[in-house]
A and B are shown apart, each in its own frame.
Chain A
Amino acid sequence: DGGITQSPKYLFRKEGQNVTLSCEQNLNHDAMYWYRQDPGQGLRLIYYSQIVNDFQKGDIAEGYSVSREKKESFPLTVTSAQKNPTAFYLCASSIEVRYEQYFGPGTRLTVT
Chain B
Amino acid sequence: GIQVEQSPPDLILQEGANSTLRCNFSDSVNNLQWFHQNPWGQLINLFYIPSGTKQNGRLSATTVATERYSLLYISSSQTTDSGVYFCAVENDYKLSFGAGTTVTVRA
- What chain A residues lie within 8 Å of B33 (beta carbons)? 100-101
Question: A20–B101 Cα gap in the complex (Å)?
Answer: 31
Q: Would you call A59 and B43 a contact (CB within 8 A)?
A: no
Contact with B along A33-49 (1 / 0, CB 8 A): 10001001111110010
A47 CB → nearest B CB, Å: 11
What does DSSP make chain B's interface, helix, strand, loop or mixed? strand
- For window 94-109 of A, CB contacts with B under 8 Å fall at 97-103, 105-106, 108
Count of interface residues, chain B, beta-carbon cutoff 8 Å: 24
Count of interface residues, chain A, beta-carbon cutoff 8 Å: 26
Question: A56–B92 Cα gap in the complex (Å)?
Answer: 12
- List chain A positions with a Cβ less than 8 A from chain B: 33, 37, 40-45, 48, 50, 56, 58-59, 88, 90, 92, 97-103, 105-106, 108
